[in-house]
Amino acid sequence: MNAASIERSSMIMDAKAFIDQRVFSPALNSQVISGEVKAVVRNSRSWVNQFRRVGDLLQYFDRFKGEGTSKAFIALRQAGLSTFEDVLPEFYEKFEPWRSDCTRLDDFVVGQIYSPRSILAFAGVYDSRAGGILPIGKVGTHRAVFIKATMTGGKYNNTWLPDGTSLKYYLKSIQGNFGDHYQDNQSISKYPDIPIYAFTRNKKDDNFKFSGIFKSVRIHIDPDQSKWFELHRSDVAGHEILTSEDQYFRSFDQLVAIASASSSEERARRLAAAPKKPKRRMIVSYNFERNADVVAEVLAQAAGICGGCGSEAPFTRNSDGTPYLEVHHRRPLAAGGADCVENAIALCPNCHRREHNGPARWPWLGVSAGRS
């Protein structure tokens, strides 16, 4: 785990602890709060515990800006206890720098298990009674659609089709009406190229497995007028399922470690049988829009000298003949670091790799930082 991942994990734990100490624990330990209100508090706590990134938690709490009107809010105020609304100013002050650290589509890994609430939370839906079709974003500009498919014991007879890779998934219905005009249904039917992230489970009490990215190819109508989408896996021929750049490099580093632990003879056998042409994999990469003036100023101040080891730049650029140094953010951008001269330093390639993959030279960098 790199420094960004460690710091992210630490920050979300700190954020949850802040809310628990200020709101949840006092309410649940109170002798004057009713059981009904405590049930609401416990439900809120279970939602908060679903979040893995601070940015997601901030979005959740944005709903509580202003003066509260709920029964739980009134009961806590009357008991002299803090509400979300009371602690939000301090919470924002502490954790607002992490707002951009949100769960992304490419964080979902095929084959992994996800709770119903973690799926709903990504869609910005905080009601466990919500339906199975979840547009990611406002319909019309949505980036994807999440679907939750229960195969046995659910409201609909969702099932895998005989080919084993296509999915029969029923449209949303209200009182038996599978209306094409329902917005959830239109998020798929009117946008056939939108990626559909299918989360499936065998029984209604199970968690969901991310079964892959699908595409709607047609709508079928059963004799009883029930309607269902025929969904096909949308893997591109010759490529594997979409993955993130970070996921790819983490996985590859693990494979290298395993290969290094093998004997030379074992590697030789595998190499002899391995194809010479590598497979292609689709990788999605997210980058920050960095300020070019920050890079230019940091390089100018360095004057060709590495800020880590103090050596001269190892070579000059072919493009303009300037000393080759790399600008590194002391606190990674992904960890909420600022893109400013004060947070950046010019390093030789060796020192830069050390900061990402070895013991950090500066105490405030902690252990090896992620790519930034």
Lookup: tokens for 14: 């700190």
Contacts 24+ apart (CB under 8 A), 168-176: 168/220, 168/228, 168/229, 168/230, 168/231, 169/198, 169/228, 169/229, 169/231, 170/226, 170/227, 170/228, 170/229, 171/219, 171/227, 171/228, 171/229, 172/131, 172/132, 172/133, 173/226, 173/227, 176/225
Q: Tell me if residue 7 falls in helix, strand or coil.
A: helix
Domain locations along the chain: 3-98, 105-233, 242-284, 292-365
Instruction: Name which of 114-123, 244-253, 300-309, 325-334 the model is least confident about.
Output: 244-253
Q: Tell me if residue 212 falls in helix, strand or coil.
A: strand
pLDDT of residue 237: 38
Cα separations in angstroms, 252 against 107, 244, 258, 261, 275:
17, 12, 10, 14, 17
pLDDT of residue 119: 94
pLDDT of residue 107: 84
Which of the given ranges, 11-20, 64-73, 258-267, has the highest pLDDT on average?
Answer: 11-20
The larger pLDDT score, comparing residue 91 to residue 371, is at 91
pLDDT tens-place string over residues 170-180: 999 988 889 88
| CATH node for 105-233 | 2.30.280.10
Strands 227-233 and 144-152: unpaired
Q: Please provide the size of the chain in residues.
A: 372
pLDDT of residue 234: 80
Q: How buried is residue 39: exposed, middle or buried, by Cβ count under 10 Å (0-12/13-18/19+)? A: exposed
pLDDT tens-place string over residues 111-168: 889 999 999 999 999 988 888 999 999 998 898 999 999 988 778 889 999 877 899 9
Average pLDDT, the chain: 85
Q: How buried is residue 317: exposed, middle or buried, by Cβ count under 10 Å (0-12/13-18/19+)? A: exposed
Average pLDDT over residues 65-82: 90
Lookup: tokens for 58: 């901030």
Give residue for tokens 């649940």: 28
Cα separations in angstroms, 283 against 53, 119, 246:
22, 22, 9
Model confidence at 250: pLDDT above 50: yes
Confidence of residue 2 (pLDDT cuts 50, 70, 90): very low
CA–CA separation, 187 and 196 (whole Å): 10
Instruction: Name which of 20-29, 277-286, 293-302 the model is least confident about.
Output: 277-286
Model confidence at 185: pLDDT above 60: yes
pLDDT of residue 239: 39
The larger pLDDT score, comparing residue 358 to residue 113, is at 113
| CATH node for 292-365 | 1.10.30.50
CA–CA separation, 158 and 173 (whole Å): 13
CA–CA separation, 35 and 75 (whole Å): 11
CA–CA separation, 311 and 75 (whole Å): 65
The larger pLDDT score, comparing residue 190 to residue 372, is at 190
In the DSSP assignment, the letter for residue 174 is: B
pLDDT tens-place string over residues 254-274: 677 777 877 888 888 888 888
Count H helices and E strands in the chain, helices first. 12, 12
